[in-house]
A = this chain, B = another copy of it.
Amino acid sequence: MRSKFDQELERLNEELIEMGNLIESRIEAAVSALVNQDVELATRVANGDKEVNDKERDIEDLCLKLILQQQPVARDLRLISSALKMITDMERIGDQAADISELTIRMANEKYFKELIDIPQMAEATIYMVRESINAFVNRDVDKAVEIIYYDDKVDKLFDMVKNELIEYIRDQKYSSEQSVDFILIAKYFERIGDHAQNIAEWVYYAITGEHFSWS
């Protein structure tokens, strides 16, 4: 009985890693389409989160099966209920990638007024957060979870930088204000991705420690 349960928990780990990979790919594709003004790729990201939704459904089914059949308690129950929370945040990240790509499509025929530097850094930071928070879950690594919770500061700071720079552009009237607003919106979506990745890490923290993370 116990061994079957451990096998199923192992499958849960694998499914979460797969869903994490799908999410990372969506963030990567969204930022690549944005930087390269690649409408075809953006269209795929904007339309296609069926894979993510299907994976979310599979994991939910697996979690509910585990809860019903094995009636786990204490930490095992926490692991499963945290996984259910984690996938909700992962799915929301997939949605934000779609939102970014819709703006990419709309901006496809405009020349960007400068090379994008900070926004790709935001994307990179959030990809790291998603991957490492899932690794923290799989390895029951509470220190890593805490690192990722704090890592979101980096994304928030990047967002503030981008926002303030774009506010200056709007004031100067040197560049298109429309485009500045679009980039503020895009940066905001990446900032939200960071928030959801931070949520994932907080669920990992809870799964392992049994306590909700509190800022010290």
Selected from B92, B99, B170, B173, the residue in CB contact (under 8 A) with A192 is B99
Is A132's CB within 8 Å of the partner chain B? no
A50 to chain B, nearest CB (A): 10
| A180 closest partner in B (C-beta) | B167
Selected from B88, B163, B170, B184, the residue in CB contact (under 8 A) with A171 is B170
Is A188's CB within 8 Å of the partner chain B? yes
**Bound: A163/B181 CA distance, A:** 8
| A170 closest partner in B (C-beta) | B170
| A166 closest partner in B (C-beta) | B181
* B-chain residues with CB within 8 Å of residue A170 when the two chains form the complex: 167, 170-171, 177
**Bound: A192/B184 CA distance, A:** 16
A186 to chain B, nearest CB (A): 11
Is A185's CB within 8 Å of the partner chain B? yes
Q: Which A residues have a C-beta under 8 Å from some C-beta of B? A: 53, 88, 92, 95, 99, 163, 167, 170-171, 173, 177, 181, 184-185, 188, 192
7 other contacts beyond A170-B170, A171-B171, with CB at 8 A cut-off? A92-B95, A95-B95, A99-B192, A163-B181, A170-B177, A184-B184, A184-B185
List of 7 A-B pairs having minimum Cβ-Cβ separation, nearest first: A170-B170, A167-B177, A185-B188, A171-B171, A167-B170, A181-B184, A163-B181
